[in-house]
Structure 1
């Protein structure tokens, strides 16, 4: 972003936190680290590095440091990479392994359980310092697209200074996940309080993890699901916990702003690559759970099924889509190695139970208006670890699950084996011009969306004019009407981040939908009020439940406004839902980030989020009120 606009007082140390993202130019794509040398490793391509415990710590450190240094500012670049650790222990008391994680990087253990891979050291993300040659304006607002999973981390800060030694730092914002982790030895901090400031951060996701005392700090919003936590420091605007042992109670809302569900109604952990006791590679596909709490691996191997890697077609960015579809039609699953794939026709998932697993933030880019990924109206499909980008020709959608009135209008029953999207991210604009009508369209029933960031970019490296006129260029050129449209019934979203779309960011037409955690920024760039209004209404609500819906649940939702192109713009409501006994919203808020006005939180209820209280939320505890 071109200017930082908003502030919000924290409960921790008098810090402040704005929500607007900060832009940075993208350097050229760096060279990838060396290809894996372990002869037992499968052929996963040059963008995957597999380490084994016999390798010197210094070598592992050097390879990861080199890639992190190349990726620290490569926000809009094309490099992607996965660093995978075979079972064993890495780092010693004399030489801990202390690494940082940059853009489009996955760090994961290859054990069947998190305890099979142990790192003695630190795995961290620090602020990006954007001013004075990298010494000031230090923030985490754009620390996107990175993954840490499936390992045990014994924090060892030997050799670091006093501040850095105080925690393992994970200062991130959207499109970042921590999964299947067992962390001990020091605090986990979700903000980087060791740099020059302002140290802002803007949200993230933890699931299926056992974590120590956690410093939320400046994180404006955060979602933690099915985990164990030793303690939690504070919340800023919206901290949501679902099925978390040790989660703070929501008593006193909105001070602190905690939303706590004892159990998660529907959950399914993300598939993961692992090495079995005979050194063979396979993918574990966890089963869906109902009314779950705590980690999935507490009693041993996560319940589910194991699929040998030779049952996957391993694709690279040079693989033709037709070849991918041919292999899927043969009954194979799909492993996408890291890189950027140009997709000129749909990758079509038609078989029930198909698994599509991306490594290293594998990215599918629409070409010629294609829908990059489609899933038939069948149960049990799992798509995980994939980013989907709009292309310069408008696509009707970027991912379509099922067809409207699929199976000749006869819905299938899939409540015990829902099609699941885990860490599936969407982007419209940013590295290049992007256009789509809808990013994610869910037509099937019984679908689970477990952590997604659906982003119409508010900044990027497209050749737009700087400043306000650049925003006008973006509004006319990087087009996206809706981020998520749900037409299916019994759809659940756990961790729904959707931002900057030009009409309703979320449209929910299906019955009995549930969202646990929703984060939204309305578009920054409507040129005028007239461009933003519709049907006699001031603006588009971020979260719209269709008028005829009779049953819907939302827990912990926030919508933020920052009309930087025309600060006089008004939006009537952040949330717009039918007045029906079965439609219930629990813990809502709106926030002004420095421009425009959100007149009400939901259906005319709640005061205005205007520029007299920038960064100060307007809360509604329950709608309708009990």
Structure 2
């Protein structure tokens, strides 16, 4: 952004001068952009040995590394339409594999997309830290007949066709180890059987399965053909449809090797996959500003002011001001886990109270100066009906503490009515490349919802120091919630809410008259002080418009106490049975 334009914008006088100034400062765009050196693009002429060498180099560099989990490495492997001979792709941290067809079956990987245990330093016996990786928009013919996807949080599988079976536990799970703690599948098809194995919780949305086997604590399905029948005694919470969905935008390449981003259409009360022939809006890549690490907030905001969408390439972006999205239907997305970091206690992204803004595929790290919010959608106090074209945020992962001793009061604030929050992991870190601790990486609330009629599908929020989810808006709905309370509470004197001992993980404000949640799990592990207890996992008003289905609490290793499930209702954990046994409440109100 030029100094003149910045000055004009600051005093609110863009008006008549803006077109001339913006014309001088126009940023270049292209239908065949440079995605940077961290992105590899393959076609059918690429030797299988080259592809294998590339994916092996990315994974092998992370094997038992003590720094990879919070490192700066980023990888995106993109496949143009075609069938690819044996590729066995082990996916490590910050690794994305995606097809570039219009439909998943346009790209076929023969071999595997493999995620297992045994490779991550300090977590070799489990898969509970298999974060930050993704598979999208392709089909897989598993070499052994079964693909392994033993992921934990922040590892989405979207628009994938598994032409065989899928197992989500690691290969050592039968030895009494090998736990995994994720995850999320949407708009995908598995021809065979999905086996959850040692997964502690899982959310599957708008997909098609041959069959499902297994259940641990909290398995949730909405709009899934082939899902098991609702049976919370087996951990299954099943909804036949999902109330509102809009699948995430995806990148594809046409027959002229020009790139596009496709934005699927809104669906209501839907089930099954959107493909082939997904309805939606096609946006040529020339309508995007393709950002690269080193771009400033001013440069990116200049592109937004020209009416461009944003596409982030892999890497880390240091931003001294928020990226301000004011145009309806703006798409902000990226590939390869681009990471936004505030440098001056600012938010990294804000949106006006307009319709259709779509934000996806980002990691947001809190900076060393406290941010009031990291991402803010809509305008506080404004209530505009966006039901026909809601804002959405998908596959966006927040970290308070990682390689940075970060601080943020709230990581995501949702003010816009009707917003779709679809697969979020907001995480106050319990470990990191930088030191963590109660007074070090501070964060009060992961997700604050002020808008009305907001729907969350796949809400993972962990370790915040006050209410981890604070829901102030009316008629809110959540399908699948996973939480771990903060591990590092020093004592109950340091952790007192207005209503008693500890803070509920999921708080619905007292003025709310209508709210509903399906499939919520809250776990405690107060290892700093096992005598710590929380009075309740969920806290809501008690009116007839408040409903909950399929709630579960767990004391991990029987370390610390949650005294009730919701509002004093439901038993405590640890249970008399001990040994991390869950406590279940099938329904409330």
Q: Do Structure 1 and Structure 2 share a fold, with TM-score over 0.5?
A: yes
Q: Secondary structure at the match of 1:191?
A: coil
- What is the CA deviation profile of residues 255-314 of structure 1, one whole-angstrom value per residue up to 9, with x for unaligned ones? x110000000011111000012332110001111100100001xx321110000010000
Could you tell me how far apart the structure 1 residues matched to 2:365 and 2:461 are? 14
CA contact (8 A) 1:137 1:198 kept: no
Corresponding residue for residue 169 of structure 1: 148
Does residue 392 in structure 1 map to residue 368 in structure 2?
yes
Corresponding residue for residue 591 of structure 1: 554
Structure 2 residue corresponding to 1:46, chosen from 28, 37, 41? 37
Q: State the 1:129 CA deviation.
A: 4.9
Map 1:206-355 to 2 at 5 A. 206-211=185-190, 212-251=192-231, 253-254=232-233, 256-297=234-275, 300-355=276-331
Structure 2 residue corresponding to 1:607, chosen from 567, 571, 584? 571
Does residue 454 in structure 1 map to residue 426 in structure 2?
yes
Q: Secondary structure at the match of 2:438?
A: helix
Q: State the 1:563 CA deviation.
A: 0.5
CA contact (8 A) 2:466 2:497 kept: no
- What is the CA deviation profile of residues 464-494 of structure 1, one whole-angstrom value per residue up to 9, with x for unaligned ones? 6xxxxxxxxx100100000000000000000
When structure 1 is superposed on structure 2, of 231-240 and 531-540 the one drifting more is 531-540
Could you tell me how far apart the structure 2 residues matched to 1:432 and 1:404 are? 29
Q: State the 1:536 CA deviation.
A: 5.5
- What is the CA deviation profile of residues 548-570 of structure 1, one whole-angstrom value per residue up to 9, with x for unaligned ones? 11111100001001111110011
Corresponding residue for residue 4 of structure 2: none
Could you tell me how far apart the structure 2 residues matched to 1:454 and 1:128 are? 26
Change (3 A) 1:78 1:590: same
Q: Secondary structure at the match of 2:395?
A: strand
Map 1:519-530 to 2 at 5 A. 519-530=482-493
Could you tell me how far apart the structure 2 residues matched to 1:423 and 1:575 are? 24
Does residue 203 in structure 1 map to residue 182 in structure 2?
yes
Corresponding residue for residue 184 of structure 1: 163
Q: Secondary structure at the match of 1:396?
A: strand
Q: Secondary structure at the match of 1:232?
A: strand
CA contact (8 A) 1:137 1:197 kept: no
Could you tell me how far apart the structure 2 residues matched to 1:41 and 1:356 are? 18
Unaligned runs of 5+ in 1: 1-38, 157-164, 465-473
- What is the CA deviation profile of residues 368-422 of structure 1, one whole-angstrom value per residue up to 9, with x for unaligned ones? 201011111111000010111101110000100012113xxxx322111110111
Corresponding residue for residue 620 of structure 1: 585
CA contact (8 A) 2:574 2:580 kept: no
CA contact (8 A) 1:344 1:368 kept: yes
CA contact (8 A) 1:317 1:340 kept: yes
Does residue 367 in structure 1 map to residue 367 in structure 2?
no
Corresponding residue for residue 17 of structure 2: none
Structure 1 residue corresponding to 2:389, chosen from 417, 427, 431? 417
Does residue 532 in structure 1 map to residue 495 in structure 2?
yes
Q: Secondary structure at the match of 2:536?
A: strand
Q: Secondary structure at the match of 1:138?
A: coil
Change (3 A) 1:360 1:535: same
Change (3 A) 1:369 1:97: same
- What is the CA deviation profile of residues 341-371 of structure 1, one whole-angstrom value per residue up to 9, with x for unaligned ones? 1111001111000000121010001112010
Could you tell me how far apart the structure 1 residues matched to 2:31 and 2:83 are? 18
Could you tell me how far apart the structure 2 residues matched to 1:265 and 1:292 are? 7
Q: State the 1:529 CA deviation.
A: 1.0
Corresponding residue for residue 24 of structure 1: none
Q: State the 1:226 CA deviation.
A: 0.2
Map 1:96-135 to 2 at 5 A. 96-129=86-119
Change (3 A) 1:412 1:52: same
Corresponding residue for residue 562 of structure 1: 525
- What is the CA deviation profile of residues 513-562 of structure 1, one whole-angstrom value per residue up to 9, with x for unaligned ones? 00000000000001111001133610000000011111111000010011
Corresponding residue for residue 138 of structure 2: 151
CA contact (8 A) 2:366 2:407 kept: yes
Could you tell me how far apart the structure 2 residues matched to 1:296 and 1:563 are? 43
- What is the CA deviation profile of residues 588-607 of structure 1, one whole-angstrom value per residue up to 9, with x for unaligned ones? 01000131100000010111
Q: Secondary structure at the match of 1:306?
A: strand
Corresponding residue for residue 61 of structure 2: 70
Q: Secondary structure at the match of 1:317?
A: coil
Greater relative CO (CA pairs within 8 A, separation 6+): 1
Could you tell me how far apart the structure 2 residues matched to 1:335 and 1:128 are? 34
Aligned length: 553
Q: State the 1:614 CA deviation.
A: 3.7
- What is the CA deviation profile of residues 15-73 of structure 1, one whole-angstrom value per residue up to 9, with x for unaligned ones? xxxxxxxxxxxxxxxxxxxxxxxx99531111111011101101100011100111344
CA contact (8 A) 1:287 1:417 kept: no
Normalized against structure 2, the TM-score is what? 0.92
Could you tell me how far apart the structure 1 residues matched to 2:119 and 2:132 are? 18
Corresponding residue for residue 20 of structure 2: none
